[in-house]
Amino acid sequence: MLKNTIQGILILIGILLSFHIEDSRIEQKNFEIKNELLSDLNRAISNDLEQIINLKKILKSALDSISELQDDMNKNHQLLSDEEVIKKLIDLNVSISFFPQDGVFTELISSGSFELIKSKELKSKLLEIYNHQKERNLSISDDIDIVMKDYELEIMTNFRIGIDYNSSDGEFYGKPILSDYEFNRDYYLSNELYGLMSLNYLFGVMYSRLLNDIEKSHEATLALSMLEIDKN
């Protein structure tokens, strides 16, 4: 009787031990998957940061052009030539958008790996950049696109601009090349165009601020993600 009891206990212990070993194996495998996804995420975030740097350069160039054009308009078109004005008008673009690589984050959520992340701060940062900041980015980008469409229509309509297009030039969108134009001095010095320029400048500054916020969040997230991997 005692022998059977001992054997039963040993069998039970063996079964429980095998369950424990299997659970540990699965847990370790899940953490390995999580760390692999975090490594992929780090690469995506690094690419996003590079994209942000290039977008900020484009925005700064656009804001500088608006300032130069408005200075010229304030001086009754005494600072720039007609051709310089037209080239700046067609090059000016604040309608640029940041597109985060969010596929890895989606996989983290769908695979359940997100819940295995130990750092609450990292979880919070991930939710911030892929939810809150993503929505802010989409909202302001839509508003800027509307303003830029109005601006481009006004420029092309009032100056009769002929352009070619070099799709291989520029970081993202290519570059328009001036081929012909008729300069409309009255429209150039009008309150209407000046107002459109001011609106473009405002949206450009707003988007620059958003990109700065996104950049800081991405940098902090990258650091936390690397620390999360190192701890395991």
Low-confidence stretches of the chain (pLDDT beneath 50): 19-20, 22
Read off the amino acid at residue 214.
I
Query: What does the longest C-alpha to C-alpha distance in the chain come to?
Result: 110
> Per DSSP, which regions of 67-225 are E strands?
162-166, 175-180
Kindly list the distances between the CA atom of residue 125 and the CA atoms of 34, 100, 102, 167, 217, in Å, as whole numbers in the listed order: 17, 14, 13, 36, 7
Summarised one tens digit per residue, pLDDT across range 176-214 is 777 788 999 999 999 999 999 999 999 999 999 999 999
Domain interval for residue 186: 2-231
Query: What local confidence, expressed as pLDDT, does residue 151 receive?
Result: 92
Give the chain's mean pLDDT: 85
Query: What local confidence, expressed as pLDDT, does residue 181 receive?
Result: 87
**Which ranges of 75-132 does DSSP label H, i.e. alpha helix?**
82-91, 103-111, 120-127
DSSP state of 66: H
| Helices 82-91 & 2-74 angle (0-180, nearest 10) | 160
Provide the domain count of the chain: 1
Q: What's the CA gap between 157 and 146, in Å, rounded?
A: 17
- The token duo for 210 is 């958003």
Query: What local confidence, expressed as pLDDT, does residue 35 receive?
Result: 82
Query: What local confidence, expressed as pLDDT, does residue 180 receive?
Result: 84
